[in-house]
A and B are shown apart, each in its own frame.
Chain A
Amino acid sequence: GQNIDQPTEMTATEGAIVQINCTYQTSGFNGLFWYQQHAGEAPTFLSYNVLDGLEEKGRFSSFLSRSKGYSYLLLKELQMKDSASYLCAPIGGYNKLIFGAGTRLAVHP
């Protein structure tokens, strides 16, 4: 199966840290991407994990545990422009991304 679970909505305060969790059934997936999508725009790449552990990229970090089917995206020093949907996407082979429904993050002053 390919059930991918993310919280539907989250809110946070400017300057704070937020963690967005993603769980998925482990069979057939070789890694996981995180994408950001602002309303009315195309998704943009945030991070990629192919091995277990933490990948850090500026204000964004992503963690993956393949055996547990678990990932999280950590956003630090939140800015108003970070208000967007965050999409977790395990890779199902040959560039086939299986997207979760996404988490809508609202950042408040």
Chain B
Amino acid sequence: KAGVTQTPRYLIKTRGQQVTLSCSPISGHRSVSWYQQTPGQGLQFLFEYFSETQRNKGNFPGRFSGRQFSNSRSEMNVSTLELGDSALYLCASSSQGGDSYEQYFGPGTRLTVT
């Protein structure tokens, strides 16, 4: 079974631009969560989608948004990029919708904002 895939793997953007990142979960997984990882703040939860519905959201500004498609693939969008948005963005998929299941992480997208 293929793992979680994320595209692109690396991205360089300029302040003020917007960016869209993509995540394809493991086949059959319906839950996709997004995390931001920075050296200063560690791994922080952005949001979680299950069956195209956002069920949970972290403490990030409205510039961070996401969506999930009917095939469970998910995208996250960051508008009006700031230097502080430079980070590794990880998505994780899970087979079930509850709290009790292992999340499998993708390799991440490393975003650099200049």
A18 at the interface (CB under 8 A from B): no
Closest to A41 in B: B107
B58 at the interface (CB under 8 A from A): yes
List CB contacts (< 8 Å) of A57-102 with chain B: 87, 89, 91-102
Residue of B42, B55, B99, B105 touching A100 (CB-CB under 8 A):
B42
Known contacts: A42-B107, A42-B108, A50-B100. The answer to whether A95 contacts B48 by CB under 8 A is yes
Contacts of A44 in B (CB 8 A): 105
Establish whether residues A93 and B45, one from each chain, have CB atoms under 8 Å apart when the complex forms. no
A9 to B108 CA separation, bound complex (whole angstroms): 24
A101 to B104 CA separation, bound complex (whole angstroms): 19
Size of the chain B interface, CB-CB below 8 angstroms: 27
A11 to B106 CA separation, bound complex (whole angstroms): 28
Establish whether residues A98 and B45, one from each chain, have CB atoms under 8 Å apart when the complex forms. yes
Contacts of A50 in B (CB 8 A): 99-100
Establish whether residues A101 and B42, one from each chain, have CB atoms under 8 Å apart when the complex forms. yes
Establish whether residues A91 and B99, one from each chain, have CB atoms under 8 Å apart when the complex forms. yes
A27 at the interface (CB under 8 A from B): no
**Chain B binding surface, main DSSP class:** strand
A30 at the interface (CB under 8 A from B): yes
Known contacts: A31-B99, A91-B99, A102-B42. The answer to whether A97 contacts B33 by CB under 8 A is yes
Min C-beta distance of A68 to chain B, whole Å: 20
List CB contacts (< 8 Å) of B71-104 with chain A: 90, 92, 94, 97-104
A30 to B50 CA separation, bound complex (whole angstroms): 19
Contacts of B102 in A (CB 8 A): 33, 45, 48
A94 to B50 CA separation, bound complex (whole angstroms): 9
Establish whether residues A99 and B42, one from each chain, have CB atoms under 8 Å apart when the complex forms. yes
A43 at the interface (CB under 8 A from B): yes
List CB contacts (< 8 Å) of B47-64 with chain A: 48, 50, 55-56, 58
A residues near B, CB below 8 A?
A: 30-31, 33, 41-45, 48, 50, 87, 89, 91-102
B residues near A, CB below 8 A?
A: 31, 33, 35, 42-45, 48, 50, 55-56, 58, 90, 92, 94, 97-108
